[in-house]
Amino acid sequence: MHLQQSASELNHGEYPATAAMTTGYVFRVENQATVSFLQNIGSTGRLTTVNVRASPKRVNFSDAKSVLGLLLYVCTVLMTLAAVVYALVIADWWVLIAFLCLMVSRFINIKIFKDRAVSQWYGAKEPGVNGDLLVLLSQDRWIRLKGPVDALKAVTSGRWLRDMTRQERSAENVAKMLVYACAAIPAPNATSAGNLALVCVLLGSALLLGCANMLINTETLFMHDCVLAVKERSKQYVRRLDLSHELIKETGRDDWARQLGMIKGDAVNVTM
């Protein structure tokens, strides 16, 4: 609970080199969440093709897994409310303080997170133009992103989470101290029944959220009103140069491959 703002580090510091195979421009994917998603779906020695399109995020109630995941998440909230009522019934004020500390800590972190995730810079609009990107990830994982240029910019340009302000860092420190204070002060002074309720809520919510996360489609990502969905995975390439030759012949240009260091000189015939 005291590490929620570390979510911006889930890309493990990787900002992969990327080439626009339609224009030859080379840049890096700066969106940490997109990089993490690509790391998870990529396979060593294979080209994974991902379709990107504009699509506002919404719960798909025709998908049984999505509905079940939502119900599990709601159950965690109801479990917390039930525990708070139980603490009031048994008049265990210490455990009630512990619950309030944890709830306030969570609320502060959620507020900071939502403020950090506000949509920012995506570059100039290019309506009606389609793009084709090649992303070179570590461990020889290769990703191809295809879709409208505006959608590709929305999921690759700028940042997923902006840096915290001085006020937000102070609020995060307060939220961390509330978690530590909960363990240090109220819990040791609470009754056995109250502590049991606290433990059941913490373990039960962790279990339910873990089950809810298992139901998430790991091959789909919603990001800035766009959706990334895995289309296909290629055969395994013996050499990366084979992949380069194949894509150069398909796109009819090799400037992007030179800038990425995938080929040298004019060793490739780009004629179709």
On the question of pLDDT at 254 being above 50, the answer is yes
For residues 139-155, give the mean pLDDT: 93
Question: What average pLDDT is seen over the chain?
Answer: 86
Contacts of 55 (CB under 8 A, 6+ apart): 222, 225, 226, 227
What integer is the mean pLDDT of 254-272?
74
Residue 82, pLDDT > 50, answer yes
Residue at token pair 């570390």: 6
Residue 272 has pLDDT above 50, yes or no: no
Q: Is pLDDT above 60 for 269?
A: no
Q: What's the whole-number mean pLDDT along residues 66-72? A: 82
Question: Could you tell me the pLDDT band of residue 69, with boundaries at 50, 70 and 90?
Answer: confident
Tell me the average pLDDT across 188-217. 86
94-114 pLDDT tens trace: 989 889 989 999 999 999 988
Q: Is the predicted pLDDT of residue 66 greater than 80, yes or no?
A: no
Average pLDDT over every residue of 149-173: 89
As a whole number, mean pLDDT of residues 39-47 equals 92
At residue 141, the pLDDT reads 94
- pLDDT for 133: 95
Query: What is the model's pTM?
Result: 0.81
47-51, 179-183, 241-245 — which is least confidently predicted? 179-183
Amino acid 192: pLDDT: 87
Query: Is the pLDDT at 262 greater than 50, yes or no?
Result: yes
Which comes out higher in pLDDT, residue 34 or 270? 34
Give 169-183 pLDDT, tens digit per residue.
999 999 999 988 887
Average pLDDT over residues 31-50: 93
The pLDDT value given to residue 57: 61
